[in-house]
Chain A
Amino acid sequence: MEFFVQLLIDGLTLGGMYALIALGFTLVYGILLMINFAHAEMFMTGGFIGYGVLNLLSNESTIATASDFFAPLSILQSTQPFFTTTALGFILMMLIVFGVAAVLTGLLGMTIERFAYRPLRNSPRLCALISALGMSLFLQNFVLLAVGHRMVFPTPEFLANLNAVPLFGSIRIAPIDLIIFVTCLVLLFTLDRFVSKSKLGKAMRATSQDKDAAGLMGININSVIALTFFIGPALGAVAGTFFGLKYGVVTFNMGLFPGIKAFTAAVLGGIGNLRGAMLGGFLIGVLEALASGYLSIAYRDVITFAILILILIFRPGGLLGESVVEKV
């Protein structure tokens, strides 16, 4: 029982991250009917940016090196103890790290859309898929050459000193897991509200229903698509940074498997359906955790791929999606 609950907690944390990534897949698919293969690299890039910012704020030697390049950065030396040791500082630092990672990655996503995908909007869908695959290859190798293939993620002192939170009995939840889970829930809820209630969110939904009609109603399609390509990667970046914090390392090719799993989550929930992607993310996370606990760690990934293949073949509409008749 305890083992099961522990696995469940693991699965939900993991699932939260998958859900964040899955949203990016599902948002883009909903609007452009395109599998943005490079979205997995948004997760990876976000992780690397988070790594860089966190280092710059909390790692003395990084601050020293950075100050040599750009003198004003030496101010970070004085803020470093505040950020790493106090609770307020830690929260502030996390906000900065996630904020910068999300915004930069979001901008990167918009740039990619502008230059790689927009010219293909009227091409066959397979062209866009190949282009996205190329972009993924490019980003991976860019990060690899520019930064390195594997970076050890710093753990801020404050976080390291926190004790695991007892839930009940001997079940405990690691502070980082708790943070991840809560943050994911908050973000997912906010996004859901945003899309269903705000004006921009309505424009997004209208665009995903019918691009041309939305355009005629005065919605600027290009800016809606750009917004989609900002939100998706930004959420992916949050997941990437969490991944680094939880596992203590980011690698240039870390995007592939979480990317595929998040895609599986999006398809499982019904691609194009936001709540479906969230549900799918948590389901896949829990399933993976249970599978590695009870079945076989070695075949853990095989199980996810098998689920993906089975859904695509037998229920391509997913759990919450609707089946679409293709027009002849």
Chain B
Amino acid sequence: MNKVVAEHQGYLMQATNATIQFGGLRAVDSVNMNIEAGTIVALIGPNGAGKTTFFNLLTGIYTPTEGEILFEGRSVSGKKTHVIADWGISRTFQNIRLFKEMTVLENVMVGRHVRTHSGFFGATFRTPSFRREERQIQEDAERWLDFVGLTDHANDLAANLPYGAQRRLEIARALATEPKLVCLDEPAAGMNESESADLDDLILRIRDELNITVFLIEHDMKVVMNLAEYIYVLDFGKLIAEGLPAEIQSNPAVIEAYLGQDMEAAIKAKRQALLESRGEKVATPPATPAPEAAPEEAVMDSDGVVMVMDADIKEKNDAA
């Protein structure tokens, strides 16, 4: 939607020269990245490439040592994580960080924290507005559980959920913060075929029905190619490639790295050459998927637009 507007008014998220250094290691090194509202963008790369570290920069867990990351034009540097959550960036974690000893419903209720206000006074004296808000929090949390299909588990301990359900719960918890950008860190990791197909649907619904921009780290190339409208490839902290899925698929380094046998070795060997060959492009990435993109992508893209319109109409109908 609103591609033209996005092009002229800037991006939802914009990283310029983002860098973080731990001692001698530049875990994220001069990364330039743009995410347009309403898209599904993937960040891929071998293990240890700095993908999760980039998420940590984006969500304020680390502060960039150089460069800047803007979210809706505001710099996230030095901002506390909870403030960034308030601005509208939410995330899941690679190694599932649920509140294990809390129930599934409570986990999602925590996600409502940032959109609710009651504090010490209301809690202590159970004021009417406090009760109203608690009720609202629970209702909203139930809706989000419903959205990811976990209603039946509402009163289970999060720790007791099966693996795939834990991943979905993390997504529900992240969505409950009403984000504009949701960062999913390897959501399909450890899932079987059918679970990961369900996940694809869920992620599409997040974008299509909720209009939330999705930023995805994923190793499962099937998921990435199914979902992503634009892909960034990170290796040793540096951006080595970016483009439409078709471009990435046809990129020799990525083919060798991901579709070939020896992933890590291939990408390491090609890294230097790639950096040189794509250096210019890194500096000025295309704003949107080019119109002359591969037909498959174009289909996916236009489908996204159709879906959004569809959802809008539906909302209006519901309201009426």
Contacts and interface: CB of A to CB of B under 8 A. Distances in A.
Is any CB of A less than 8 Å from a CB of B in the complex?
Answer: yes
Contacts of A328: 56, 61-62
B120 interface: no
B22 interface: yes
B95 to A, nearest CB: 10
B56 A325 contact: no
Interface string A295-328: 0000000000000000000000000000001001
A325 B22 contact: yes
Contacts of B56: 328
Contacts of B62: 328
A325 B56 CA distance: 14
A328 B61 CA distance: 8
Per DSSP, chain A at the interface is loop
Interface string A6-41: 000000000000000000000000000000000000
Contacts of A325: 22
Nearest to B53: A328
A266 B262 CA distance: 48
Q: Please tell me the size bucket of the interface on A.
A: under 10
A326 to B, nearest CB: 10
A327 to B, nearest CB: 10
Nearest to B97: A328
Interface in B9-67: 22, 56, 61-62
A328 B56 CA distance: 8
A328 B59 CA distance: 12
A328 B58 CA distance: 14
B183 to A, nearest CB: 14
Interface string A93-129: 0000000000000000000000000000000000000
A325 B61 CA distance: 12
A63 B276 CA distance: 87
Interface in B61-118: 61-62
Contacts of B22: 325
A124 to B, nearest CB: 12
B267 to A, nearest CB: 24
Interface in A78-94: none
Nearest to A322: B23
A242 B22 CA distance: 45
Nearest to B23: A325
A280 B62 CA distance: 32
A36 to B, nearest CB: 27
Nearest to A325: B22
Nearest to B22: A325
A325 B25 CA distance: 13
B85 to A, nearest CB: 15
A261 to B, nearest CB: 33
A319 to B, nearest CB: 20
A328 B94 CA distance: 10
A265 B314 CA distance: 68
Contacts of B61: 328
A328 B63 CA distance: 13
B68 to A, nearest CB: 21
A321 to B, nearest CB: 15
A328 B62 CA distance: 9
A42 B284 CA distance: 65
Nearest to B55: A328
A328 B20 CA distance: 14
A325 B24 CA distance: 13
A325 B62 CA distance: 10
A306 to B, nearest CB: 29
A101 B62 CA distance: 50
Across the A-B interface, the 4 shortest Cβ-Cβ residue pairs:
A328-B61, A328-B56, A325-B22, A328-B62
Interface of A: 325, 328
4 contacts: A325-B22, A328-B56, A328-B61, A328-B62
